[in-house]
Amino acid sequence: MNGLKIFIAGHNGMVGSAILRLLKKKNAKLLCKDKKELDLTNQKKVINFLNKERPDEIYIAAAKAGGIYANSTYPADFIYTNIMIEANLIHSAFKCGIKKILLLGSSCIYPRNSKQPIKEEELLNGYLEPTNEPYAIAKIAGIKMCESYNRQYGFSHGIDFRCVMPTNLYGPHDNYNPISSHVIPALIRKFHEAKIKKKPYVVVWGSGLPRREFLYVDDLARACIKIMKIKRIDYKNFTKENCSHINVGSGYDLTILELAKKIMKIVGYVGELQFDSGKPDGMKQKLLDSSRIRKLGWKPKINLEDGLAKVYKNFKSYLCKQ
């Protein structure tokens, strides 16, 4: 990667920052712009930026993301913002002659009743989970944009746009906002605050029965860079023209109850654990089939217990900066 000029959209987020950390070790020339410097929902600003800088590659890690509460409360924000970010970057890259993109998606693109573990071919094979449907539709639109540009301009313009669908992620620089956070940072914050305030119990949304798969974000960053380095012909051989995304997961899932108990132990909270079954659970199970990426030689390095311990340490550092 020596000498490559790479733009990381969303470099301050959990995923973007992990990709940034890894690419810094590869001696690439990195371009990074925060929201104040570049509004990715503004088409004119995006195309002017890309036309001026002309990066060799773009990693699209920028997104408006959140848990069940945030998705249910702000559906218009989620579908609009994410579609605009993807459309502006993908189309502007094409207009500026940038041939290589990696779009970061989400496992929520798959139907709520998908066969487990979920293969890439399950996309558009049923109804989506209602609690995050707007976000999922935006991500599906991004996948189909990449595939459409590949089909129409792959041969004539050398367009090579790729997509990665990670499972549920956690790691440094996660979002710990109690309203918009995902399950792991939300539980870490809840148990930590309950420990400090010596609360007798902690209430967790849902029944605790849904099963979820989790991946430490640095493992995803390794997968992303590996996928970008694959020769175009090899990438095509591992995917299909109308199903060109690649799942990235740990291959291991557990119930939310089991996850909560692991986090309780790591945080050191000794109170009671309660579940509010009146709150939505989301999908019953969401385990990805990651055989495509495994065949390419990737596998995760960080197990859940070690990853959670790292994240709790990061959370305490985050609190010190508040």
99-150 residue pLDDT tens: 999 999 999 999 999 999 999 999 999 999 998 999 999 999 999 999 999 9
Amino acid at 130: P
pLDDT of residue 301: 97
Please compute Rg for the chain using Cα positions: 19
Q: Is residue 261, in this structure, part of any structural domain at all?
A: no
Give the residue numbers marked as catalytic.
135
Total domain count, the chain: 1
290 — phi, psi (to 5°)?
A: -105, 30
| 61 closest CA partner among 123, 1, 12 | 12
What is the C-alpha to C-alpha distance for residues 166 and 303, in angstroms, rounded to an integer?
16
Asked whether the beta carbons of 247 and 165 are under 8 A apart, the reply is: yes
pLDDT of residue 65: 87
Q: Is residue 162, in this structure, part of any structural domain at all?
A: yes
Asked whether the beta carbons of 274 and 203 are under 8 A apart, the reply is: yes
Q: Is residue 237, in this structure, part of any structural domain at all?
A: yes
Q: Report the 3 state secondary structure along 219-285.
A: HHHHHHHHHHHCCHHHHHHHCECCECEEEECCCCEEEHHHHHHHHHHHHCCCCEEEEECCCCCCCCE
User: Any idea what the CATH number is for the domain that residue 20 is in?
Assistant: 3.40.50.720
Question: Would you say the pTM of this structure is higher than 0.85?
Answer: yes
pLDDT of residue 2: 66
What is the C-alpha to C-alpha distance for residues 67 and 196, in angstroms, rounded to an integer?
24
What is the C-alpha to C-alpha distance for residues 12 and 33, in angstroms, rounded to an integer?
9
The length of the chain in residues reads: 322
What is the C-alpha to C-alpha distance for residues 113 and 120, in angstroms, rounded to an integer?
14
Q: Is residue 314, in this structure, part of any structural domain at all?
A: no
DSSP symbol at 288: B
Q: Is residue 181, in this structure, part of any structural domain at all?
A: no
Four-CA torsion 104, 66, 14, 304, nearest 10 degrees: -100
Provide the domain limits for residue 224: 5-173+214-251+287-301
Amino acid at 59: Y
How buried is residue 197: exposed, middle or buried, by Cβ count under 10 Å (0-12/13-18/19+)? Answer: exposed
Q: Is residue 133, in this structure, part of any structural domain at all?
A: yes
Q: Is residue 207, in this structure, part of any structural domain at all?
A: no
pLDDT of residue 1: 65
CB atoms within 10 A of CB 319: 13
What is the C-alpha to C-alpha distance for residues 60 and 106, in angstroms, rounded to an integer?
12
pLDDT of residue 178: 78
What is the C-alpha to C-alpha distance for residues 84 and 89, in angstroms, rounded to an integer?
8
Token digits of residue 272 = 């009671």
Low-confidence stretches of the chain (pLDDT beneath 70) = 1-2
Q: Is residue 232, in this structure, part of any structural domain at all?
A: yes
DSSP symbol at 239: S
